[in-house]
Amino acid sequence: MKASLTWASASGALLLAFPVYAQGPGATELPPITVLPPLPISPPESPTPLPLPLPLPLPLSPPPSPPPAPMTSASRPAPAFEESIELRLDGGATYRNLFGIPMSMGTVEMGVGAHVSQHLAVYMAFQLDVGQTATGLAARAYTLAPSVEWVADRFRLGTGVELLWFDLIRASNGSALGQGGLGLHLGVSVDVLTLRRVTAFVGVRGQLDVLLGPEEASCLESVTGIGGLRF
């Protein structure tokens, strides 16, 4: 609009500047020609930018799916169980009591077994105890113990019978004072670390043995704290 007015003003100025030609031939005297300076012609202004059209609604995308729920032990599929042969090597400290005489012993045990089902393992173990009584009498015990273990995740509860031979070394002449017996054991352990196929565990085990003499039987009570590896 502003550009049109500018052009119109310029045209009017030219008509006023040349009245002779507008009147035509036959005019008597022409006035002096006045030359008007040209009007400045401004270039057409650039059109004002139109406002951007309102954004059309974008095509609807499917709503984001909720994050997956954390896996729980109930929803996690149980790993397929595989029967396996296991070796066990452990050791610890044993407290024993014979006729009311306390004795402390070091214990090493080696066992071989099979994990036969998801919650069941069977073992045959040999245990060696070496120690002394409170006054220094040397003592040894050899134990052969088949056992059954109930396996629940990291925990194991085992029990079984055992055959035992117990030796006490005399102070008087150094000979062995020995007796054999039968017993029961009960133990619980927990796996604390597993690297590849090696599992470290700790536990505690109680043993009650009856040493069978020809006249009378005597009891040998034991408690052992153990730590070991299972392969």
Least Å from the CB of residue 171 to another protein? 4
Compute the distance between CA of residue 160 and CA of residue 111 in angstroms, rounded to an integer.
13
Give the CA distances from residue 190 to residues 122, 172, 230, in Å, rounded to whole numbers and listed in that order: 16, 44, 11
Give the phi and the psi of residue 53 in degrees, each rounded to 5. Answer: -60, 150
Q: Are 130 and 140 in contact (CB under 8 A)?
A: yes
Least Å from the CB of residue 144 to another protein? 19
Between 119 and 170, name the residue whose CB sits nearer to another protein: 170
Q: Given the rule CB under 8 A, which residues bind another protein?
A: 98-99, 101, 133-137, 168, 170-173, 177-179, 211, 213-216, 218
Q: Give the DSSP H or E segment for 145.
A: strand 138-152
Least Å from the CB of residue 148 to another protein? 30
Least Å from the CB of residue 93 to another protein? 21
Cβ within 8 Å of residue 14, ≥6 positions away: none
Between 154 and 170, name the residue whose CB sits nearer to another protein: 170
Between 143 and 147, name the residue whose CB sits nearer to another protein: 143
Between 123 and 166, name the residue whose CB sits nearer to another protein: 166
